[in-house]
Amino acid sequence: MADRYLSFTGTAPGRFLTRRLGLPQPAALRRWSPERPVLEGGLLLLAAGRSALPADAPDAGLPAVLARAGLGADTGRPAAVVLDATGVRDVAGLDEVHAALHPVVRSVAASGRVVVLGAPPDPADHHQAAAQQALEGFTRSLGKEIGRGRTVNLVRLTDAPSAESTLRFLLSPKSAYVSGQVVEVGAGQVTAPDDWARPLAGRTALVTGAARGIGEAVAETLARDGARVVVLDVPGAEPDARRVAERLGGTALALDITAADAGERIARALPDGLDLLIHNAGITRDRRLVNMPAERWSSVLDVNLASVLRTTDALLAAGAVRPGGRIVATASIAGLAGNAGQTNYGASKAGVVGLVRSLAPRALDEHGVTVNAVAPGFVETRMTAAIPLLIREAGRRMNSLAQGGLPIDVAETTAWLAHPASGAVNGQVVRVCGQSLLGA
Catalytic residue annotation: 345
Q: Concatenated DSSP letters for 304-351?
A: IIIHHHHHHHHHHHTT-EEEEEEEEEE--HHHHH--TT-HHHHHHHHH
Classified as helix, coil or strand, 402 is coil
Q: Distance between the two ends of the chain, CA-based, in angstroms?
A: 28
DSSP class of residue 54? Answer: -
Q: Report the Cα 371 to chain-centroid distance in Å.
A: 13
* Residue 429 main-chain phi, psi, to 5 deg: -120, 110
Query: Could you tell me which residues are beta bridge partners of residue 375?
Result: 431
The CA-atom distances, in angstroms, between 438 and each of 31, 126, 384, 399 are 24, 29, 17, 8
Cα angle value 334/440/411 (rounded, 5°): 60
CA–CA distance, 379 with 381 (Å, rounded to integer): 6
CA–CA distance, 234 with 256 (Å, rounded to integer): 5
Query: Which of 237, 265, 268, 262 lies closest to 252 in space, CA to CA?
Result: 237
CA–CA distance, 68 with 55 (Å, rounded to integer): 17
Task: Indicate the angle between helix axes 262-269 and 307-317, nearest 10 degrees.
Answer: 50
Classified as helix, coil or strand, 276 is strand
Q: Report the Cα 111 to chain-centroid distance in Å.
A: 17
CA–CA distance, 440 with 437 (Å, rounded to integer): 8
Within a 10 A sphere around the Cβ of 13, how many other Cβ atoms?
A: 9
Q: Report the Cα 259 to chain-centroid distance in Å.
A: 29
Residue pair 84/47 in contact by the 8 Å Cβ criterion:
yes
Q: Concatenated DSSP letters for 120-158?
A: ---TT-HHHHHHHHHHHHHHHHHHHH--TT-EEEEEE-S
Query: Which of 73, 69, 77, 153 lies closest to 113 in space, CA to CA?
Result: 153
